[in-house]
Each structure stands twice: as C-alpha cells, then as structure tokens.
Amino acid sequence: MGLNDGAALRIHNVRLIDGASIESVDDAVLEANGDGWITYVGPATEAPQARPDVATINGRGGTLLPGLFDCHTHLGVPSDRSIVEAALLTDPVLGMLQTTERIRRTLDAGITSARDLGGLPAGFRDAVAAGHIVGPRLQTSVGLISHTGGHADTHLPGGNDLGLDYCTLADDVAGARKAARRMLRAGADVIKICTSGGISSAHDDPDDQDLLDEEIAAIVDEGRRHRHRPVAAHAQGRAGILSAIRCGVRSIEHGFGIDEEGCDLIGEKQAFLVPTLSTVFQPLDPQKTAPWRYQKKLRWNERTKENIAKAIAKKVNIAAGTDAGITPHGQNPFELACLVELGMSPIDAIRAATSNSARLLGVDDTLGILRPGYAADLILCTADPLQDIKALSEPENIVLVTQQGVIRKHTLDAADWPQQQPPVAGSPSLQDATHP
C-alpha cells in the first residue's frame, strides 16, 4: 500500500548514486515536494534546513539510487513451472492473480519501471496506472511476432497449439503488417518481433533467421506510422541481429551472437543492446530440462559470455533486462551482477539499469536520474553496491522503494520511519512521468 501521498519527503544520512555521475556522494540528502518531484539532491552540507512538516527518513548510511528498470521481462509468464502447465492447467482467474503478485514482487525488488516483452495484456499496465494494483510503471508489447516454425510458434511437435494468444505468426509482408496492427490495436507500447530462433524454442536454433528483412522493415514502418512505436527484436544469433539493426529496430534483445559488425551497427543506428545475462548465468538442471534445450544452452553459454564481454569492452549502448519468466521473478537486479561479471564497472551497470534504460524507454527527461525536476522514483539499499553489486540482488537489502515520492515498500526500523502515514495512492505510469 502506498504511503506519504501528498506529503513532502526528505531522506538523509545516505550515500548517493544519482544514475548519471560516475562517483557516489557520501552523507547526502534528497528532498521531494508533495507532488513527488525532487527539489534537492546532493551533499548534506548544501541541503535546505530540515522542516518539521516534511516526512523525514534516516537512511542509516545506506545507498540511495534511482529506481531500477527491467527492460525485458515477462510478468504474465510464471518462472516456476512450464508454459505448457501455465497455458493448459491454470485457471484464468488464478493466473491473473498470480500475475498481479509477480508485478508486486518485481516492484519490491527495486524495479520501479519495467518493459514487458510478451505475455502481459495492456490491462495490467492500465491497472497499475489507475491504482487498482501496485507495481512498476509499465510498458508492454502485449505479444510477439514470429513466422511459422519460428521462436514464437507455440504449436507442439504433433501439431497441437498451446493457444497462447500473445504469440502471433506472420509469413509474408502483408501478414507482418497485419500482425503489427493487431498488437497496436491491443494497446502495445512497443512491438516485439523475433528475427532469430532461440534457445528455448524447439523448432529452431539461435543461428536461424526468423522474420525476413522485408517483413522486419514492414513492422518497423507500422510502428513509425502509429505514434512512432519502437520495435524490439528477439535476436540471439548473428544473422537475426544484423537484419534487425539494419531494418531499424530500437533494441536488440539477448544479442548472444553479436560480433564487431553488430556492435558497430548499434552505435551507428543509435540502437540499444539488452543482453539478458540472467538467462546465461542461471544454471539449468539437466534432469528437469528437455535435452534439446539443455544442449543448446551448453553450446551458447560460453560463446555468449565472450561476445557480450567484447560488447561491454567496446562501450556498446546497453540497457538492463532480465527475461524474467525464463529467469526467476523478483530477483531482477541480479542482471547487474552479471554485467559486472563480464567486465562492466559497477557504476556503469547501475547506469545501464537507470539512466540508460530510461533513454531506451523514452522517459529519460523525468526518470532514471536523481536530480531536481525529476520524479522521486528511488530505492534505498542497506549496502554499497559499488563495493558489492550483488547486494542489490537480495530483496531484503532493498529497504525503501518510492514512486513519485509515494512509499511503496519500507522495512526500515521504526525509529527511522516517518510518523506521517497519509492515504493510499495508485502507482503512476511511465506516461505519467511528465513535468508539472
């Protein structure tokens, strides 16, 4: 439940990582007004005097950061059971409630903004924005587009269809345009396409190209014509990566087979790479995994680590995404530890999950950085992630989460908790993050 709605907020005795600077600030203060906009953030020595009418929180030497982003999640997909079980054996009402619980758990992990890339109807985004449920600010692709036999083809080997209505097939240019229009009609903020096969799909391989160049270009054009909706491409192998970038997609999702040419193209086109390393560093149990999937993962894991490490070294434009649904929900900041494992500095990993992700989602004028005039979407971590980036991965270390200055989560000691507890407020949306 949201607290502090309509009241000014002051947080002091914290280490500050603002999402833009390359260094932290010790003994910092942040103040936000009653509308949830930051009015001061910086050293305590330069901060305004504390006022008795402002709700004040003692951060106890913890680290204050912008709320984190997850730019590739599947909140409508369970991570603890198979898609087959979820599709065929779960009551729809129960499934809806489970999705609501996953959305809340994601927020509690410190993710205040998220982009869902398949499996989350637009109604959940709207429910968060209206305050019916509490969760990250959301953008959603609603579904994903592939060709027959491709990564998003949910037909089983015998021909039976799992009936996942968010997976749409298109086999020519006209079909691709129609599929994009169906997603836009369903309320998609971004169009998700598959330009390569995948590790988790039985019909194909990451090195296979999925949609053809002319089909990709047609979908990009549909997005451009419809309020400039961007396109995100599931692209694991080299062929799918290069085709997607050349045809104008905004982001390469996974990018496991990226090479120097792909890195250069991302820079040239001002696109983004969302490497979803959580899927790579998450072990698979061979006893519980289909042999074809286990063998593909073995083949691709080390290859992926080498390629993404080179992309990091080349300073490719990287935003953070986890593929939660394939990886566990509620552990999203583990992605930052994976980026650091492959050579990214902790401060750059944090910026990938804050200011750079905000740029990808087109909300960098109000989110992703802690500075005056920006929304007070923030988290407080008990540890210093610049010394131990894995500290962000433990939800119990995230003791405070706010959106637009409204407190969504707090596990602070009673002595550190403000006495004011005004009415509950709904969660804002990504579209709501505009200057007053």
Which of 16-20, 135-139, 145-149, 289-293 is predicted with the least confidence, judged by mean pLDDT?
289-293
Q: Which tens digits make up the pLDDT trace of 334-392?
A: 999 999 999 999 999 999 999 999 999 999 999 999 999 999 999 999 999 999 999 99
Instruction: Spell out the residues 6+ positions from residue 114 whose beta carbon is closer than 8 angstroms to its own.
Output: 69, 70, 71, 73, 75, 106, 135, 136, 137, 138, 139
The residues spanned by each domain of the chain are: 9-66+369-416, 68-360
- Model pTM score: 0.93
CA 171 – CA 263 distance, rounded (Å): 29
**How many residues does the structure list for the chain?**
436
Which of 53-62, 284-293, 346-355, 361-370 is predicted with the least confidence, judged by mean pLDDT?
284-293
Q: According to the model, what pLDDT value does residue 155 have?
A: 80
Q: What is the rounded end-to-end Cα distance, in angstroms, of the chain?
A: 24
Q: Which tens digits make up the pLDDT trace of 190-244?
A: 999 999 999 988 889 999 999 999 999 999 999 999 999 999 999 999 999 999 9
Among 153, 20, 141, 146, which Cα is nearest to 72's?
A: 141
Mean pLDDT of the chain: 92
CATH number of 9-66+369-416: 2.30.40.10
Q: Can you state the angle between helices 122-130 and 92-108, rounded to 10 degrees?
A: 60
2 pLDDT exceeds 60? no
Q: Which tens digits make up the pLDDT trace of 365-374?
A: 999 999 999 9
Instruction: Spell out the residues 6+ positions from residue 63 whose beta carbon is closer than 8 angstroms to its own.
Output: 14, 15, 16, 17, 24, 380, 381, 382, 383, 384, 385, 386
Is residue 291 within 8 A of residue 247, CB to CB? The reply is no
According to CATH, the topology of domain 68-360 is: TIM Barrel (3.20.20)
